[in-house]
Amino acid sequence: MKSSVTMKDIASKLGVSSVTVSKALNDKEGVSDSLKLKIKKVAGEMGYRFNSAAKSIKEGLSYNIGVMIPQRFTGLQESFYLRVYQQIAIQLDHYGYFGILNILSSEDEEELNFPRVYSENKVDGIIVLGQVSKKYIETVQNMELPKLFLDFYDEHAAIDSIVTDNFYGAYEITNYLIQCGHRDIAYVGNIYSTSSIQDRYLGYYKSLLEHGMVFENRLLLNDRDEHGRYIDIEFPEKMPTAFVCNCDQVAYNLCERLNAMGYRVPDDCSVVGFDNDVYATLANPQLTTVEVDIEQMARTSVKTIMDKVANPNRHIGRLLVHGKIIYRDSVKKINL
């Protein structure tokens, strides 16, 4: 950055004070229009660039927001959170802010280390994108700046959070399966893995309850171990007619597996996913799923964190962003 041209340089070139230059460049009152114009012109000619660090130090604001993503959600196959981050960066731009990505390494999460963006005062707020451990949630709570959980929440922590309405989305898509005549519907997911998976399960469960159907444990199919690694799904003796998967990738894997086993989707089994990500359209057949509105999540998150930066006492609680069912080819209407 080598402090190239400063306001002072412009000032002395024009024989005015740097205060006047500051006012002119910021369109503040107290400079004649003609002088303001002249200053702006010269600033342009000299290639002046604003020094945001100086402003930061005065205002105590960095104009950055940190986005923290736990490392384990950034595998080669997963780009959902990176996409959310991208949308956040775009939204922040509208507020004159920038987004700094912070991948939370497993070690740092384990050792409860503060992220550098925090300890070096690099950001005015932090968005934690993706579930972190209970312990680390406490660490986040100890950070003295506006913070927000995105795509997960914790009952015990009084931290604002923004999540897809997982419960309602799964509830709706299960209702749809039931409308299509399905009576033996399984849920695929490790319900102790993340709150998203758990809430989607509960929406599925509510739908069953409302329709007077009985839930049996054989209908709950585990898809991953406690480290989040996918495991082979064990099917019950009697094959269900439909599967509600906790996400599209799992639905995609399930379709592959079913095809390999000789089942045709949707003729033999119907499958629905959640997220509407790449896997939804890559699957064969293409998946009926619940779309997660990434842009809306980013927009809401950024608006919220900006609110909280301006007013640290603002509290929004848990905010739900609605999903929307996308109808494709993986569900079959069956006879009642």
Partner DNA sequence: CTGAAAGCGCTTACAG
Task: Report the interface residues with DNA, using CB under 7 A.
Answer: 3, 6-8, 15-20, 22-23, 25-26, 28-33, 35, 50-51, 54-55, 57-60
Binding of a copy of itself by 119 (CB under 8 A):
yes
Binding of a copy of itself by 101 (CB under 8 A):
yes
Binding mask of the shown chain, residues 130 to 149, with x at each position contacting a copy of itself by CB under 8 A: --------------xx----
Binding of a copy of itself by 56 (CB under 8 A):
yes
- Calpha distance 276→291 (Å, rounded): 5
Give 3-state DSSP helix, strand, coil % of the chain, rounded to 5.
40, 15, 40
Close Cβ partners of 262 (under 8 Å, ≥ 6 residues apart): none
Q: Give strand pairing partners of 326.
A: 289
- Calpha distance 181→333 (Å, rounded): 6
Strand, coil or helix: 16: coil
Binding of a copy of itself by 70 (CB under 8 A):
no
Binding of a copy of itself by 53 (CB under 8 A):
yes
Q: Which stretch binds a copy of itself (CB under 8 A): 33-41, 117-125, 172-180, 262-270?
A: 117-125
39, with CB counted inside 10 A (0-12, 13-18, 19+), is buried
Instruction: List the one residue from 24, 42, 99, 149 that touches a copy of itself (CB under 8 A).
Output: 99
Instruction: List the one residue from 102, 164, 166, 175 that touches a copy of itself (CB under 8 A).
Output: 102
Cβ proximity to a copy of itself, 85 vs 201, nearer residue? 85
Strand, coil or helix: 103: strand
Q: Which does 112 bind (CB under 5 to 8 A by kind): DNA, a copy of itself, none?
A: none
Q: Which does 20 bind (CB under 5 to 8 A by kind): DNA, a copy of itself, none?
A: DNA
Cβ proximity to DNA, 36 vs 200, nearer residue? 36
120, with CB counted inside 10 A (0-12, 13-18, 19+), is exposed
Please state the separation of Cα 22 from the chain's center in Å: 38
- Calpha distance 153→131 (Å, rounded): 7
Instruction: List the one residue from 60, 212, 262, 317 that touches a copy of itself (CB under 8 A).
Output: 60
Peptide bond into 70 cis (omega under 30): no
Instruction: List the one residue from 57, 209, 231, 310 that touches a copy of itself (CB under 8 A).
Output: 57
CA atoms within 13 A on the CB side of 232: 6
Instruction: List the one residue from 79, 113, 198, 222 that touches a copy of itself (CB under 8 A).
Output: 79
Binding site for a copy of itself (CB under 8 A): 1-4, 47, 49-54, 56-57, 60-62, 64, 74, 76-77, 79, 82-83, 85-86, 89-90, 93, 96, 98-103, 116-122, 124, 144-145, 278, 282, 312
